[in-house]
Amino acid sequence: MVAAYKTVFGSIDDYRKGGVECLNDDPKRYVYSNMFEVAANSRPHERIAVARNLDYTIEVCRAEGLSPWMVCAHDEFVVAMDYDVTVHYRKLDDESGIDDSKDGFRTLAGEPAGRAMGRIFLKRGHQALLPEKRAYRFEASRPATLMLQSVSGPETQEKWADICQK
């Protein structure tokens, strides 16, 4: 008999909380968090680490309204997980404040000087590159969930005790 499976897509305002069932292993080796729950309980534009893979961090961000400008010394990737999000890009006139030896994104104060590079409109499941040394910001007309691949830095929030279920 073949089991029937139905894919159900979640969102920041409509998700089913899951869990982890360990078979023949120690449950203490696993943690689980739901990215939609993390986004639903976060402040706008706060980036919360939800997973690690070697040097890389998977972060969840609640996009809501217009975010501040951000920049990173290395490439990052963003995926829209539920609702539409626009990513705006700017080539900075002055890149001297970007330290190549520091990991993670940093928030810029105010409006950065530089040429607008355009924008990308993300729908559910769409991915965009956040190129190194280019300023970017997110815009969402309603709260939306973003998943980012980056490298953890000083502005990445780690709330493992709050978000993980064992």
pLDDT in tens, 36-47: 999 999 999 999
Question: CA 95 to CA 73: how far, in whole Å?
Answer: 10
Q: CATH classification of 27-163 is 3.40.50.12780, yes or no?
A: no
Q: Which range is least confidently modeled, 33-37, 67-71, 139-143?
A: 33-37
Mean pLDDT score across all residues of the chain: 90
Q: What is the pLDDT of residues 152-165, one digit of tens each?
A: 999 999 988 787 76
Q: Which range is least confidently modeled, 19-23, 86-90, 134-138?
A: 19-23
In the chain, what are the domain boundaries?
27-163
Does residue 26 carry a pLDDT above 60?
yes
